[in-house]
Structure 1
Amino acid sequence: MGSESEVFTLAEVSEHSIPKDCWLVIEGKVYDVTKFLEDHPGGDEVLLSATGKDATDDFEDVGHSSTARAMMAEFCVGEIDTSTVPTETKYTPPKQPHYNQDKTPEFIIKLLQFLVPLLILGLAVGVRFYTNST
């Protein structure tokens, strides 16, 4: 294990994601929590599911006590190289195609609502014109 000043990449930290070797990234620091897995009040699965990413939000969402925060110091093995941690991106929906195929039936219905009465009117005029000329 390194000293607290050692800097790790997220890829290096991600290699430690099993029960016998578990590291977490919280608030820019890297923690080897392997020895704490069995004692963690939330269970080891919670810690294991937080590996391979910046687990700061997961940690903060739970609302850990000041005692829990103080305990973290003994598990600290270094710092994370923040340039290796992807920044969270906001969800952007995919661009819609210019021609929306889902609207096609709606378009056809509107077109028919226009053309059918026009066709009936045309037939009525045609029939009237034909019957008057004979």
Structure 2
Amino acid sequence: MGGGERKVYTLPEVAEHNSPKDCWLVIFGKVYNVTKFLEDHPGGDDVLLSATGKDATNDFEDVGHSSSAKAMMDEYYVGDIDSSTIPSKVTYTPPKQPHYNQDKTAQFIIKLLQFLIPLVILGLAVGIRFYTKSA
């Protein structure tokens, strides 16, 4: 890159480089060709390959790379990413679920007991009757 000109890539362009023979990553708004580093990566090549086609900054940060690992990245730098081509983060919205109603659970237990207790009493009465007849 002559004259201090930086190459700017779109995410779809970077995403095409997603194989062990050609692997590019986007980290901190910069594009890195890490193909030659795949075999030497301490976390294995699968980790890097799984980070292709997206902004891998969070993946990179979550691991907690050393300062020497960060300094090593300059060697693989090929350009910058056009940030307008990276989809914005979508916030997680939990699915709508009915609110847990403790009263309904209590009502169910009461109805269950209203059914079972008479059965237990009936069973005891029949059992006592047969027990006293046979004795």
Measured against the shorter chain, the TM-score band is 0.5 to 0.7
Q: Please identify runs of 4+ aligned residues in structure 1 that moved more than 3 A.
A: 1-4, 93-96
What is residue 21 of structure 2 aligned with on the other side?
20
SS at match of 1:13: helix
In 2, the alpha carbon distance for the partners of 1:73 and 1:22 equals 16
Structure 2: unaligned runs, 5 residues or longer: 99-103, 105-135
Please give the TM-score of this superposition, normalised by the length of structure 1: 0.67
How many residues were matched structurally? 101
What is residue 57 of structure 2 aligned with on the other side?
56
Q: Identical aligned pairs, as a percentage?
A: 73
What is residue 72 of structure 1 aligned with on the other side?
73
- Contact kept, 8 Å, 1:4 with 1:79, in 2: the verdict is no
- Contact kept, 8 Å, 1:14 with 1:51, in 2: the verdict is yes
Structure 1: unaligned runs, 5 residues or longer: 101-105, 107-134
Q: Give the partner amino acid of 1:25.
A: V
Q: By how many angstroms is 1:68 displaced?
A: 0.4
1:31 aligns with 2:19: no
Q: How does 1:1-134 map to 2 (within 5 A)?
A: 5-93=6-94
Q: Cα deviation per residue 1:2-26 (whole Å; 9 max; x = unaligned)?
A: 9871000000000000000000000
In 1, the alpha carbon distance for the partners of 2:67 and 2:5 equals 21
SS at match of 2:84: helix
Q: By how many angstroms is 1:92 displaced?
A: 2.3
Q: Give the partner amino acid of 1:7.
A: V
In 2, the alpha carbon distance for the partners of 1:41 and 1:59 equals 13
Please give the TM-score of this superposition, normalised by the length of structure 2: 0.67
- What root-mean-square deviation, in Å, do the aligned CA atoms of Structure 1 and Structure 2 show? 2.5
Evaluate the alpha carbon distance shift between residue 4 and residue 17 of structure 1 in structure 2; reply closer, same or farther with a 3 A threshold: farther
Evaluate the alpha carbon distance shift between residue 64 and residue 95 of structure 1 in structure 2; reply closer, same or farther with a 3 A threshold: same
What is residue 132 of structure 1 aligned with on the other side?
none
